Amino acid sequence: MPTAAKRWLDSQVSLDPIKKQKIAVIGYGIQGRAQASNMKDSGLDVIVGLRKGGKTWKQAESEGHRVMEVSEAAKAADIIHILIPDMEQGDTYKREIKKHVTAGKALSFSHGAAIHCKWIVPPNDADVIMVAPKGPGQRVRELYQEGFGIPSLVAVQQDASGKAWDRVLAMAKGIGSTRPGVLQTTFKEEVETDWFGEQVDLCGGTHALIMNAFETLVEAGYQPEVAYFECLHELKLITDLVQKYGLTGMYNRVSETARYGGLTRGPRVVDKEAKAKMKAVLKEIQSGEFADEWVSKYKKEGKNSFARYMKEIENHQLEKVGKEMRKMMWPNQDPV
């Protein structure tokens, strides 16, 4: 059995190791915006690196950031924190960043794919570090502003300076993650577990479970609106309980009928056969098969790689019914 992960709390970590260093946050998407803003508010020297004329340039400037082109930001920085999409990192690194990764600098990430899959091969005299918040960028920012934070995983792939751990922990503190606590991991572990969770549970498994449950009720003659409430809408109520209290705590907070039915029927639905398929998906991730497939698909089709799958979901009865149901609860919300 693996040993428990090493953990650091706010009182154990200092910002001092990077207070006099320039941090270039490359990208101003959901995570880039949140992390750059949190680190700036923590008193760190932050530059935002973007494409000149890109849609986020003016936004970053309006929110108080010093903005430079990617190459210029990388040249000026001591720590280059790459937060653009996975599939863009390799080309952007080769084109704009690589020549500026000189001895003593650090390459930093919030997901380990580019390093683990060798889309980026850093020089031996640079630190390679990762701080990976375990939550969406919006919550990274919101919880920081509320005086708390999102937990993060932290890792060091290469410690050329002898101070890589001081750097990554200080960055985690800067975004607010040491307030709840950060856990030690490796680039390999972060990538493989992150992709596995997305595919079999958080995104893929959840969407497939919802759609199959909905179809089962509708095909049995139940009203689709009622099926939507039972199979999708109420799921959040249950996952909120699981997140806050754990599985046992969730079961202690639902009805006795839900408790007995869930405990006895759930394992029949997601059974050993389903677990065997999960293991097969994990092997595809561990072997590099998934990464090779995704890179090949992206090179050929770009962001159209998932268009067909998205269209199938969008045209499903569940989504059409859901748009109408959501108007009842959030009348001013964008339907997409």
Could you list the active site residues?
A: 111
Determine the Cα–Cα distance for residues 306 and 137; give it in Å rounded to an integer: 23
Determine the Cα–Cα distance for residues 161 and 170; give it in Å rounded to an integer: 15
Cα dist. 209→200, 215, 216 in Å? 10, 10, 11
Determine the Cα–Cα distance for residues 229 and 139; give it in Å rounded to an integer: 26
Is-contact 285 188, C-beta < 8 A? Answer: no
Element (H, E) at 66: strand 66-69
Provide the CB-side half-sphere exposure for 99 (13 A, CA). Answer: 7
Determine the Cα–Cα distance for residues 217 and 268; give it in Å rounded to an integer: 17
Phi, psi of 158 (to 5 degrees): -145, 120
Using DSSP, state whether 50 is helix, strand or coil: strand
Number of Cβ within a 10 Å radius of residue 54: 15
- Rg of the chain on CA atoms, in Å: 22
Phi, psi of 56 (to 5 degrees): -95, -5
Using DSSP, state whether 107 is helix, strand or coil: strand
Determine the Cα–Cα distance for residues 27 and 24; give it in Å rounded to an integer: 9
Which residue blocks in 108-203 are alpha helix, DSSP H? 113-116, 137-145, 164-174, 187-197
Determine the Cα–Cα distance for residues 35 and 40; give it in Å rounded to an integer: 8
Angle between helices 256-269 and 235-251 (to 10 degrees): 100
